[in-house]
Structures are given as structure tokens and as C-alpha cells.
């Protein structure tokens, strides 16, 4: 699990805008990181802030694309089930994020 925590720490260190999300998550879940839930929270925040913070969306998608290929099976599962599946369905606002996924991540997309 430490590779998962480390990967999220790298993301938050690289994009400080996400730090309050991590702090809120840890506070709500008694200082425990629930990775699949946390990445879904990140994706939800990104979708909600596409217009006012599009650069954060690009950082998160790039992180997912770059982290996934070399990740442990656990982390791959977190990214695919928590991140990709949390993206809006086709036709919904924010669904264009799916187009930014690498071919490897697009292959995990249920749509």
C-alpha cells in the first residue's frame, strides 16, 4: 500500500491545489487514505473546476497516464476503478477528460 500512498503524495506535492482535498479526506476518514475513494474525489473536484482550473485537470490526467503503466496491480486498480470510472459518462459535462487518457487507460474505460 505504501506505493499507493507515495503516488498520491507525489500528485499532491506536484499540484498543491489538491492538498486541501487530501487534508479533508484524511480528516473525514480518521487519518486513513482510502485510495479508490480519494482518486474519485479528485476526479469529481477536477470536473467541478474544469472552467476555473483547467490546468489542474491536465496535471491529474498526466499523473494518471504516467503512473499507470509502471504501477503495481493495486495502484492500477485504484486508477482504473477510482479514477477512470469516476469520470462523467459520455454526453455529461466533463466527459471530454476521457479523451485525454492514454490508450492504456482508455482500454480500462467501461464506456
Q: Is residue 111 part of a domain?
A: no
Could you read off the pLDDT of 80-107 as tens digits, one per residue? 999 999 999 999 999 999 999 999 999 9
Domain count, the chain: 1
Q: Is residue 84 part of a domain?
A: yes
Q: Are 66 and 106 in contact (CB under 8 A)?
A: no
Q: Is residue 60 part of a domain?
A: yes
Total-model pTM: 0.94
Q: How far apart are the first and last CA of the chain?
A: 28
Band of residue 1 on the pLDDT scale cut at 50, 70, 90: low
Domain span at residue 52 reads 2-106
Q: Are 82 and 37 in contact (CB under 8 A)?
A: yes
Amino acid at each position: 500500500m505504501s506505493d499507493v500512498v507515495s503516488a498520491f503524495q507525489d500528485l499532491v506535492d506536484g499540484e498543491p491545489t489538491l492538498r486541501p482535498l487530501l487534508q479533508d479526506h484524511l480528516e473525514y476518514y480518521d487519518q486513513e487514505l482510502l485510495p479508490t475513494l480519494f482518486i474519485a474525489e479528485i476526479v469529481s473536484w477536477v470536473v467541478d473546476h474544469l472552467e476555473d482550473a483547467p490546468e489542474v485537470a491536465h496535471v491529474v490526467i498526466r499523473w494518471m497516464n504516467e503512473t499507470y503503466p509502471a504501477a503495481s496491480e493495486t495502484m492500477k486498480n485504484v486508477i482504473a476503478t477510482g479514477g477512470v470510472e469516476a469520470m462523467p459518462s459520455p454526453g455529461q459535462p466533463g466527459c471530454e477528460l476521457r479523451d485525454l487518457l492514454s490508450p492504456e487507460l482508455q482500454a480500462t474505460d467501461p464506456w
